Amino acid sequence: MEKRVVFRSAWLPYALVAPQLAITLVFFFWPAGQAVWFSFLQQDAFGLNTEFVGLQNFEQLFGDEHYLKSFKITAVFSALVAFSGIAISLVLATAADRVIRGALAYKTLLIWPYAVAPAVAGVLWAFLFAPSVGIITFVLTKVGVQWNWVLQEDQAMTLVVIASVWKQISYNFLFFLAGLQSVPKSLIEAAAIDGAGPLRRFWTIVFPLLSPTTFFLLVVNIVYAFFETFGVIDATTQGGPAGATQILVYKVYHDGVKSADLGGSSTQSVVLMVIVIALTVAQFRFIERKVQY
């Protein structure tokens, strides 16, 4: 798509794009280039000498069982966050689409968690589940569950998943609600006349028509779980216990900032970049030709 009517000037367009390009070059391209460059270098223990080692860092990384474990954890974590977030939001959106009375109030009360920072969401849930003072811990202990996410790996994972999903529900909810409202009423009516009940109508008409929204949300939620949940994890488990919640992004941060392993951290950054590019491409392909049922 191009404009038919354009203005002419030899210098003005360059001046107009200059601020954005300057920031992009300095803070995006320069660091990203450095990450790629560092990923081919190896530094000695004192940081005095660096030598070019080619793909050795990558070989080392994929031979490292901690890294492979982190990959697995990230996969499990993002699958849990995406599926439970999408399922819960779909139920809520379907209910909200049906009610007429109080619809705006319900909507308003469901969307505010979007405004909560991931790190704050983590702190809120960490407090509820705190091993000694948490109110949910108290209830769990009453019913006989030994709860201590500081020590138990599964429980730590449960905590970060709950906090991450809680924050993301409002986002999914809004997109599903918009999707539901654009389902043609005539289709639903025709099915109702043919005698299909609400549940049957949902699974045979509404859900298939929602598939573009669902696919879009799946990609967005995976990206969210991969990157934006950094705050949730840093504010609660910090990757522990024993690396049980150390997702890839957290590992990049941990190795680079805490252990000052420049080469290793940069190599991981490059792997993450490849993942982001793949996810972005998936998202854009979806926009080009919508997923059809």
**Binding piece for other proteins, criterion CB under 8 A, among 44-52, 61-69, 70-78, 226-234:** 226-234
Residue 289 touches other proteins, criterion: CB under 8 A: no
Q: Please, which of residues 13-32 interact with other proteins by CB under 8 A?
A: 13-14, 16-17, 19-21, 23-24, 26-32
Interface pattern 140-179 for other proteins (x via CB under 8 A): --------------------------x--xxx--xx--x-
- Rounded distance, CA 70 to CA 51, Å? 27
Minimum CB distance to other proteins smaller for 21 or for 76: 21
Joined together, the tokens standing for residue 213 give 């929204």
- Residues 196 and 204: beta-carbon distance below 8 Å: yes
- Residues 82 and 166: beta-carbon distance below 8 Å: no
> At 143, is the secondary structure helix, strand, or coil?
coil
> At 196, is the secondary structure helix, strand, or coil?
coil
Interface pattern 251-280 for other proteins (x via CB under 8 A): -xx--xx----x--xx--x--xx--xx--x
Strand (E) or helix (H) holding 81: helix 65-98
Task: Give least dist CB 11 to other proteins, A.
Answer: 9
Q: Burial letters for 182-194: b for 16+ Cβ neighbours within 10 Å, e otherwise?
A: ebeeeebeebeee
Question: Judged by CB under 8 A, which of 41, 124, 140, 205 binds other proteins?
Answer: 124
Task: Give least dist CB 247 to other proteins, A.
Answer: 10
Joined together, the tokens standing for residue 59 give 């070989």
Helix 153-181 × helix 103-111 angle, to 10°: 140
Question: Judged by CB under 8 A, which of 61, 218, 222, 235 binds other proteins?
Answer: 235
Q: Please, which of residues 40-79 interact with other proteins by CB under 8 A?
A: none
- Rounded distance, CA 265 to CA 263, Å? 6
- Rounded distance, CA 238 to CA 259, Å? 14
Q: Please, which of residues 95-114 interact with other proteins by CB under 8 A?
A: 95-96, 98-100, 102, 106-114
Minimum CB distance to other proteins smaller for 80 or for 125: 125
Q: Please, which of residues 181-210 interact with other proteins by CB under 8 A?
A: 185, 188-189, 192, 198
- Rounded distance, CA 200 to CA 117, Å? 39
Question: Judged by CB under 8 A, which of 41, 53, 79, 123 binds other proteins?
Answer: 123
Question: Judged by CB under 8 A, which of 220, 222, 225, 244 binds other proteins?
Answer: 220
Task: Give least dist CB 36 to other proteins, A.
Answer: 9
Q: For residue 6, give every residue at least 6 positions away whose Cβ sits within 8 Å of its Cβ, in sequence order, or none.
A: none
Question: Judged by CB under 8 A, which of 53, 75, 130, 183 binds other proteins?
Answer: 130
Strand (E) or helix (H) holding 170: helix 153-181
